[in-house]
Amino acid sequence: MSNIKNRRWVLAAYPDGMPGEGTFRMEEDLALPDLADGEILVEARFLSVDPYMRGRISPAKSYAPSIEPGQLMVGGGVGVVVESRSGEFAAGDIVETMGFGWQAFAVLDAGTVSRVDPSLAPIESSLGWLGMPGRTAYFGLFHVADIQPSEVVVISAAAGAVGQVAGQLAKAHGCRTIAIASSRAKLDWCAEIGYDAGINYRSVPDLAAAIGEACPGGVDVYFDNTSGAIQDAVMMNLALGARIALCGTISQAASFGEPDIGPRLNRNLLINRARMQGFLVTDFAEHYDAANQALAKARDDGKLKFREDVMDGIENMPKAFLKLLNSENFGKQLIKI
Ligand SMILES: NC(=O)c1ccc[n+]([C@@H]2O[C@H](COP(=O)([O-])OP(=O)(O)OC[C@H]3O[C@@H](n4cnc5c(N)ncnc54)[C@H](OP(=O)(O)O)[C@@H]3O)[C@@H](O)[C@H]2O)c1
């Protein structure tokens, strides 16, 4: 292992407002430690780029500890085992973990990774529709919002990694699905994968009115990937007994950690006896196998298409991350190593 050198991205400093490329610093030519018993050395093939990373580079209280300046950036990845001191894995095996980090090689505890079968799907699927984002869509719809056939389901960031899976699973369940996204091209993709209607939140003059027009009987379920102004507009259109599955708050990327100031619309929850529930995919870890099976079946049945946005090279990790925060990714953002 001694001749392998690592490259990795660390946090340079907490951003003040929107992160920029200077938020991160690359370290190169790093020696790798010798493996201890039970460890494996894995070479990255794909690294995952996700909105939750915004929360980790803030000192604000969250559901997971912040990264401190100088520490390795967290992130998922899938790669090939190069060397093993674990009886469970051999060189050449493909493994995936949420704990890879923004680096070319990782020394990992074999107990923390999952085996990936490359004969089932391209290995990068384990970071997309058959991984954390796909499972998030599944749990948000079926465990949090408890969607029912014929209900009206509105989804923000509808063309993204989570959103595109949520839209197709809800449709396959017999729901009427409404996409909210930032561009014509993204809404065209949403139509292609089966969304019944689409709203460009940037171009409509009155988002609440546009949602009302698309959902004349009200919104039964809102799969909220963004929070902020889009949530406010949906809140003006709730149906009796509506459920809001609060999945993400990416609209706050520039003001992370500050209190979210917006219209106070809570009376809409009261009037409609509606429920809003935040959730993390990891809350449902005991159901991962069921989710994976449902996702694989949807794919086998031809009911799950998935678009990826792949950039080449670990040197582009910060650029790819900033794309997400600026609505410039089109599908699941990945870095190919
Ligand atoms: N709770 C969980 O366990 C969990 C797990 C995974 C992801 N999430 C959350 O789910 C959401 C989607 O994640 P993803 O991985 O699927 O990312 P994604 O949708 O592939 O990419 C992020 C998208 O967010 C939208 N966006 C960015 N800035 C925005 C703004 N200011 N206002 C409104 N929309 C904005 C953009 O879509 P448009 O082009 O449509 O603006 C962008 O493409 C994120 O909030 C993420 O944190 C939560």
pTM of the model: 0.98
- What token pair was written down for 192? 């292609």
How close is the Cα of 51 to the center of ligand 1, in Å?
6
State which of 48, 162, 284 you would mutate to test the pocket of ligand 1, scoring each by most atoms of that ligand within 8 A of its C-beta.
162
Is the separation of the CB atoms in 40 and 85 below 8 Å? yes
Distance 30 CA to ligand 1 centre (A): 33
Tell me, which fold does domain 132-282 have in CATH? Rossmann fold (3.40.50)
Single-letter residue type at 282: T
Q: What is the mean pLDDT of residues 176-186?
A: 98
Average pLDDT, stretch 177-189? Answer: 98
* Banded pLDDT at 184 (limits 50, 70, 90): very high
Q: How distant is the alpha carbon of residue 162 from its chain centre?
A: 5
Ligand 1, closest atom to CA 180? 40
Ligand 1, atom 8, residue with closest C-alpha: 248
Residues 6+ apart with CB under 8 A from 141: 147, 153, 166, 169, 170, 173, 221, 223, 245
Residue percentage of the chain with pLDDT more than 70 = 99
**5-128+307-336: CATH topology:** Quinone Oxidoreductase; Chain A, domain 1 (3.90.180)
Q: Check if 5-128+307-336 and 132-282 are the same fold.
A: no
Assess whether the C-beta atom of 48 lies below 6 angstroms from ligand 1: no
Q: Return the pLDDT at 306.
A: 98
DSSP string over 18-59: S--GGGEEEEEEEEPPPPPTTEEEEEEEEEE--TTHHHHTS-
Domain ranges of the chain: 5-128+307-336, 132-282
Q: Cα separation of 314 and 328, whole Å?
A: 18
In the prediction, which pLDDT does 23 show? 98
pLDDT cut 90: percent of the chain above it: 96
- Ligand 1 atom closest to the CA of 282, numbered from 1: 3
Q: How far apart are CA 318 and CA 293, in angstroms?
A: 33
Is residue 176 scored above 70 in pLDDT?
A: yes
The tokens for 318 are 């910060």
Average per-residue pLDDT for the chain? 97
Average pLDDT over every residue of 114-119: 96
The reply to whether ligand 1 has any atom less than 6 angstroms from the CB of 280 is yes
CA of 179 relative to ligand 1 center, distance in Å: 13
pLDDT at 210: 98
**Looking at the DSSP assignment, which residues form a beta bridge with residue 114?**
96
pLDDT at residue 55, rounded to an integer = 96
